[in-house]
Structure formats: C-alpha cells, structure tokens
Amino acid sequence: MGETFPMNGGDGDYSYTKNSQYQKRGSDSVKEMIQQAVSENLDTKISSTVAIADLGCSVGPNTFFTVENLIEAVQKKHPSKTLEFQVFFNDHSGNDFNTLFSSLPPERHYHAAGVPGSFHDRLFPRSSITVAHSSYAIHWLSKQPQGAPNEGRIHCLEAPEAVLRAYSDQYEKDLGDFVSARGEEIVTGGLVLLVFAAAPDGIPHSENINSVLFSYLGHCLMELANEGVVEKKKIDEFNLPLYYPTEGEVRRVIERNGCFSVVKMEMTYPYSEIKVRFKIGPFRAALEGVLIACFGNSVVEKVFSKMQIRSDEIVERLMAVHDFAQLFVVLKRK
Amino acid sequence: MGETFPMNGGDGDYSYTKNSQYQKRGSDSVKEMIQQAVSENLDTKISSTVAIADLGCSVGPNTFFTVENLIEAVQKKHPSKTLEFQVFFNDHSGNDFNTLFSSLPPERHYHAAGVPGSFHDRLFPRSSITVAHSSYAIHWLSKQPQGAPNEGRIHCLEAPEAVLRAYSDQYEKDLGDFVSARGEEIVTGGLVLLVFAAAPDGIPHSENINSVLFSYLGHCLMELANEGVVEKKKIDEFNLPLYYPTEGEVRRVIERNGCFSVVKMEMTYPYSEIKVRFKIGPFRAALEGVLIACFGNSVVEKVFSKMQIRSDEIVERLMAVHDFAQLFVVLKRK
C-alpha cells in the first residue's frame, strides 16, 4: 500500500474546501469538453442506473460541480430515459469523508456513496461503472520515488537524470495500476475522463511553473536546515510525490494496457494569469499534508512563512516561465 | 427530514466503538439465524456481483462482523460461483464515517462504500441490493413524537395513552417508509434481515426493562430540574425517539406495504444476565447524542453521574422485570 496524503480536511484557513479555486478553475475549463466527450463517446447499454465515480474527489465543493456536469451530460445523451444515478466519491481512507458527506448538496438527484481507498487498486466490482472521472489527482504518485540521491532538492525538476528516471518509473507503474483497475471496473463503451497537471512536450523542465515553485520550497527548506530548524538529511531523503508527465508518457502506458482506446488527449493552459496572481494559500493546502508527514507542523508553518515573504520574487520568476499545462484525456473502454 | 442522533464517534471512553458490546451480543445471538435465513431463503439471480447493505451501521466493529457473516452465508449458498461483494455501510450523514473507514478490516474481501443518509428514505438505485441488514437501528424513530403532553417524563412507557399513541403512530410511519424504500431497492428474491429491540406481546409496558431505565433517566433529569440545573419545560417537551414494537405492529406495517413476504419473525431474549451486570457506559453511549442535542453537555454529564450513583438500585429494580426482548425478522422481496 502506498503513502497517503489527503488534501486538508475541515473548513479552516488552509482547508482544501477554502483553497481549491485553482483546481475548480481547472475543472471549469474542461466543463464543456466533458459534456462533449460524453455526448460523442459514451456508448454503453444504459439500463435504468448509471454509475459515476469521481476518483480522488477530496472534500468538495469541486467534486459536486463535476458530478452534476457529468449527470447533465448523460441525461442529455439519453433524453427519453428515466435514469437513476449512483455516484461514488472516492479518495484515500484518510480523506475527510465526514466533511464531504455533510456538505453534499441537499437537493441532489443522485444516490451518493463514499468509497475509501487508493485508485491505484481496485475499488469497485467488475463492469460496474459507467463513467469514471478524476480531476487533479493522478499527478500524485502512490509513494515518494526512491533509489536516486537527490541532495538538497525535493523534486525531480532540476535534479540529476537518475532522479527524473525514478520519478517517471514510479509514474508509469502508478498510471499502469490505475488504468488496469479501471479496465476491470468500467463497462464496455464506458468512459474514463482525466484532468491533471502535465508537462508540455519539448519544454525544458526548468521552464515548468512547478519547477519554480518546488525550487523555492526546496530553498526555503534548505534555509531552515542552515538555521538548524530541520535536519538536512531529511530534505535529502524527501521527494515530493508529484509528477507531470508528457502526452507521450501517458499514451504509452494506456496503449500498453490495451483495455482502452484514447478518444481524446488535449493539452490546455487554463491559468494564463495564475502567475501574476500567485497565492501561497492554495499551494499550501495541496502540499501541506505530505510536508507535515515528513517535517512536522512547525517546520511547515515556517517554510510557508518564508515563501510568503518571497511571494513578489516568486511571481516575477513565474512570469518568465511557461504557462501551467493541463492535460485532458478521454478513454473509452473497448 | 428527521432529526439525526448518531452513536458517539471516535474512540473515547463513551464512544460507540468501545461501548457496543450489548449490540454485538445481540448480533452474535442471531449469527446462526442469519446464516440459516440466507441459506434457506435467498433466491435471486446471482450474477457475479452481490450487493450487501448494512443500514444504521454506526462506526464498527459490529458492522464488520455482521458483513463477514453475511458474505460467508452467501458464498456457502453458491459454492461454485466466483462472487464479488460490494458492501454499502449506511448511517446518517452525521455518523463518524472517518472512524468507520479507517477501521475497515485491511484484509477484507469486498469493495466497501459508505452511504450517508436516513434509511427512512431511498439510499440506493432500484433493484440494486441483494441483502439488506439492520441491527439495533430501526427502534430509533426518525424524530421525537409530538402532539401529546408528556409532563415530567421522557418516553411513552408509563405515560398516558395519548403519548403511547403518538409513539406508535410515528413508529408505523417510520417503519412504513423504511419498508417502502427497501421495496424499491431490493432485487426480487432478495432479503431484508432485521434485528431490533422489541416488546413481547402481553407484557405490561411497566414490566419492560427499558421502561425501568428510561424512568430512572427521567427521574434523574427531574431532580436536576428541581436543583435548577435544567428547565422543567425542556423535560416536558422532550421525548426519547425510541420505540419497542410488538410482533403484531411490525407484521401489520409489512403486510400493508405488500412488497415483502415475512419469512421469519422470532422473539428472543439474548441478555438474560444483562440485568445483573447492568453498566451505565453502553446505555450512555447509545443515548448521549440525543440527550446532548436537547439538554447540552454539562446536564448530560450530571444526569449520568446521578444514574451511576443509583446503579445498585437500578440493578435491583431490573431483576424484577421481564428480560430484554429482541425481534429477528426475515423479509423476502416478492
């Protein structure tokens, strides 16, 4: 079983609930694309019940918007049928399902269920899911890539080739497990819709927006090491379990699995102004869990204070690199 | 929507997790009966997936034992088939699903899902559940019976006839809603297995073990009213939303609904020594939620202290009344 670092639960200042506006922006940008993908490609024997899964749903509210969009799309595709929808909200068992359940829209037109567990494993019975969706989740690795020394850095961007290889190997294994589990769970003609952060082909890693952010995070951690607040060894051994694949890497894994045809794969850049308006809050909400697990609360508090102080400098640096890239992928079960 | 008073979450001294041994005893006592009921009566077209629901599951561990017993029973019934099991753990959305999910048996052989919501409403798609089970849950009413003055008392036992009628009306409506929702959700030939506290026919209410306990609870609250700790009006207006039906009442509601045949209805007395060994803890864990919602934390703390002081007296009084009665009901979807 991999390590699990859920988004921050509850509704505090750094909760995912209050800091998922970037992810919402990402979801919004594919709203129409999702409608179109369902309309053009969903091709299952629809009986009376449609099962929808949101994988890596976190605690809302984004997952609720996504699910309503999917339901609307399926209903438009089958206007003459009276359909019942069962929606499975999946995330790690450490996710705050209590918050998720208490914030379910009261007027929803679907039967809701929460499914705890890693989407790198099986979650549902064979051929039981009509449409699976996952937004801003599959760029998380199941564990920290190991085996390649990564001194003074916390990620593979700007790291030696061996570190990058450890990351891409882990990613291939994880995406392979994900696709293989979904291959068993999705009905013939059913769809898997994926939205995640990616790396545009042909752009050097150092020009990636995340490279900049993780570099700053790494530098701030190293400053704390120099101040004696945190052990340098801990930083050397730590690898942020996030990976941004290229289109080619994703396509290769899916084709090797063989269960799905790639109906669509589209790179977009939905955050053109994110760089000017960069805020620490959402960045912190997404990464805090994994950092606290390794370095503890007080170090994480200090590291984000340091980043906060440098935010003008960070914004300036971000302006010089390539826009944040998002990959939208539609897979159809053969 | 009714009021919801989940069992105590977490794993503290008065948590349901640490105080559900009576309920476990009740479940254990029907373990064999459940195996037999499934073996003799389950009569569905079993495909590859079997869907099991535990309604009012609380936070475990009892629900896990129950579910494993059910799976074993279904597997024994179909020894030659390779079956996949999907288990839906249902309780109110205020239930501590985080604790439930984090305590799921790691070596389980089923796909787990949590379903938040009242079992008096629809929870699942039409004809999607093979076996539904509910243990020590359906004697909880969806709300406090209203409309009949019940001065100085907190329950219908030992109360005027009008109060008893308000309770039995509410119970009939609630059980009716429960059976009607399950009628839509259970597949033809599928089963509903119910275990709950009941009232033996022909025993006066004052001879019911719960009558004694609720009387003491009421007296202790009234003492606090006399001490000025709690408003008497609050006690007058409060009605514990628990009801113990007779076999006749249960049968009437099920027959009126018409979707199910009553395959079995058996009254047992599984707690012959509960009276000698009466402990405040489990009683408190089950009732605390609803009492705190009305009277607040500090009053509830005080009322259980008062009961604790009187526990010898309570045990003596319990010895003089009828044993605790449990009804086991097996319904088969026509």
Report yes or no on B133 lying in a domain: yes
Cα–Cα nearest to A123, from B10, B19, B213, B104: B104
pLDDT digits (tens, 9 = 90+) for B248-266: 999 999 999 999 999 999 9
Compute the nearest-CA separation of B240 from chain A (Å).
Answer: 24
DSSP state of A242: B
- Establish if A13 belongs to a structural domain: no
Does residue A4 lie in a domain region? no
CATH number at residue B34: 3.40.50.150
How many inter-chain contacts (A to B, CB under 8 Å) are there? 74
Contacts of B313 (CB under 8 A, 6+ apart): none
Nearest chain B Cα distance for residue A259, angstroms? 20
Query: Residue A211, SS3?
Result: helix
Q: What ipTM goes with this model?
A: 0.88
Residues 120..179 of B with a Cβ closer than 8 Å to A: which?
122-126, 128
pLDDT at B2: 46
* Domain, as residue range, for B278: 21-333
Per-residue pLDDT reduced to its tens digit, A98-108: 999 999 999 99
A96 with B96: Cβ contact below 8 A: no
Q: How many separate domains does chain B show?
A: 1
pLDDT digits (tens, 9 = 90+) for B91-133: 999 999 999 999 999 999 999 999 999 999 999 999 999 999 9
Give which of A236, A146, A190 is closest to A37, Cα–Cα: A190
pLDDT(B298) > 50: yes
Q: Which residues of A touch B184 (CB under 8 A)?
A: none
CB-nearest partner of A104 from B86, B93, B101: B93
CB contact under 8 A, B115 and A117: no
CA–CA dist B206, B156 (Å, integer): 10
Q: Answer yes or no: is A212 within a domain.
A: yes
At CB < 8 A and 24+ separation, what contacts does B156-162 make?
B156/B205, B156/B239, B156/B243, B157/B205, B157/B206, B157/B208, B157/B210, B157/B211, B157/B214, B157/B215, B158/B205, B158/B206, B158/B211, B158/B215
Per-residue pLDDT, averaged over B4-10, amounts to: 62
Q: A102–B96: do the CB atoms touch at under 8 Å?
A: no
Task: Determine the residue type at A111.
Answer: H
d(CA A113, CA A87): 6
Checking if the pLDDT of A66 tops 90, the result is yes
Q: Which residues of B touch A116 (CB under 8 A)?
A: 101, 104, 112, 114
Instruction: Write the Ramachandran bin of B117: left for phi over 0, alpha for psi from -120 to 50, otherwise beta.
Output: left
Q: Is residue A11 situated within a structural domain?
A: no
Question: Which of A93, A101, A117 is the closest to B116 by Cβ?
Answer: A101
CA distance to partner chain B, nearest, from residue A113 (Å): 5
Q: Is residue B16 part of a domain?
A: no
Instruction: For residue A9, tell me if it sits in a domain.
Output: no
Across the interface, do B113 and A117 touch by the CB < 8 Å criterion? no
**pLDDT higher than threshold 70 for residue A16:** no
